[in-house]
Structure 1
């Protein structure tokens, strides 16, 4: 007669199966998160599944602390910090089955896009703001008028008559950034911190 498996061993095995149920996808998504202190911090994902996400960040919080996170392509997720890792933490996602299915579909799309080498779907990553006129203020104090062509969570394209130097710090409106590229009739900037996805729409003002 086979010996019965202790309840504790069966429970541990069940938890191991549950951890393996969600396949983690290596994916680098910019985002922001809010801890119990209600402060927002920037982050970037390392990998993600419908049940959890690992991020790199500067402020880690504590194990068991609740966090709300906004990620590009994924949107709002929430959960509790399950592990503190070098340079970041892992978040156990609290979500309905429907939300988990949606996350799974988004991760499948992101994984397939990377494998197939598909171009980024800019329709979901960039917006054209209603208020397009702005000012570029260089760290040197020089101010140049510009028009915002479009904005992503990590940067913006600006129409500008002046050819400004690359790799210099600036403010676009009130948003700190760095000039990273020139194109005909303008330039591209990279924000010092990614924008918060919850206010990322055509009403956004830099």
Structure 2
């Protein structure tokens, strides 16, 4: 976020519509001040501070009529993704009978892995050797594509590109 003073600060935002939102930031602003917000997945929005809150402020965004629909579509996409992620995160985890798995990076670099636990949407895997794969890397876990979502001690946590069907998900599962 860029404040009227020229200071650039990190923030988080909750947008109630393409025209309004709450900005959570440690910096101070005054009502009427113009701010520029660069929001991941939404874009750059210019707005005026309307109210100061204990943890930030509210903003009325100045979005041209022809851009409101596009911003609204991006906001709706984020709502759907958050709901989908929350549903997948609630999926039960289990430890499969056969825990060994190959983890492939770029289809040519292969690591031996051990599944710590697995759900229909992802898995935690230790790796030998631990390459310290970057969050966001696309990998193949057995025969399934997955994205590395975080590093764990000695390995990675991944989210599968396509979740397993829930009807045949049990300890005999093989990724």
TM-score (norm 1): 0.43
